[in-house]
Amino acid sequence: MWGESFDKLMKCAGGRKIFREFLRSEYSEENMLFYMACEDLKKERIPELIEEKARLIYEDYISILSPKEVSLDSRVREVINRNMVEPTPHTFDEAQLQIWTLMHRDSYPRFLNSQVYKRLLQQLS
């Protein structure tokens, strides 16, 4: 099913795990880690924890000083910087969409052609 759509891959915990391993091999695991951190933030309801999680996401994935910085355009970075004044569970929505799109268009097709995915298909058949 993971070969049918990126959505199906990302909705499955096992799919995310295998895809994350593939991203690690391509030195872009931070994209999946950022995406999942944003999903976790969206579930948070306690204001203090929202602020703390948002700050950690910013430090880990947005800051230019971070070794795990994700690739975002300047407009999205400006939106995030404005949102960080009063973080909400949706502070990183635009950035998350940009990273989702990057993984979908760039990494996912390579994943489907990778040895990781091909070996998995062989094991299943």
User: Is 64 part of any domain?
Assistant: yes
How many domains is the chain partitioned into structurally? 1
User: Is 106 part of any domain?
Assistant: yes
Query: pLDDT (tens digit, 9 = 90+) per residue, 53-98?
Result: 999 999 999 999 999 999 999 999 999 999 999 999 999 999 999 9
Distance CA 39, CA 26 (A): 23
User: Is 61 part of any domain?
Assistant: yes
User: Is 50 part of any domain?
Assistant: yes
Query: pLDDT (tens digit, 9 = 90+) per residue, 77-87?
Result: 999 999 999 99
User: Is 85 part of any domain?
Assistant: yes
User: Is 1 part of any domain?
Assistant: no
Q: Which domain holds residue 28?
A: 6-124
Q: What percent helix, strand, coil does the chain show, rounded to 5?
A: 70, 0, 30
- Say which CATH number the domain at 40 has: 1.10.167.10
